[in-house]
Amino acid sequence: MSAGKAVGSIVTVAAILARATAYGVRAALTKRAVERLEKRYHDRAESAKYLSEAMTKLEVDEPTTTAYMEVFTLSEAMADNVQGIVGRADSLQANAQGLAEATEAEHGRMREANRTHTVKMADRQFIQPR
């Protein structure tokens, strides 16, 4: 990043804390979305299994019942794979929460010091980048 660009972009403590919190929120939303995906795969697997078993009792041809059982097997495998992603999403959410807490611990005291200081701050026009 160039020096001109670094000077031109001002980052505040509030912005850093807001981004850390937002990251945690997005991680939690991602985890919930992945959990819903896992549930959908399990639901579809159970539906395919039910249809395969019902068609077997109704003496539907074997290729059709076998195809539905394959859909069940593949859907269960996908649900298992998604379950691994849920575990990783748990880690992501925990890491994001830790990041937000660490950021608050590190930078929150600066925000508090800026809010409660008794030193007169420089005029904004004086500190504007040129």
127 found inside a domain: no
pTM over 0.75, yes/no: no
85 three-class SS? helix
117 three-class SS? coil
93 found inside a domain: no
Domain that holds residue 55: 35-87
82 found inside a domain: yes
More confident residue, 17 or 56: 56
pLDDT in tens, 58-115: 999 999 999 999 999 999 999 989 888 888 888 888 888 888 788 778 777 776 777 7
- Residues near 111 by Cβ (< 8 Å), separated by ≥ 6? 13, 14, 17
129 found inside a domain: no
pLDDT in tens, 109-118: 776 777 777 7
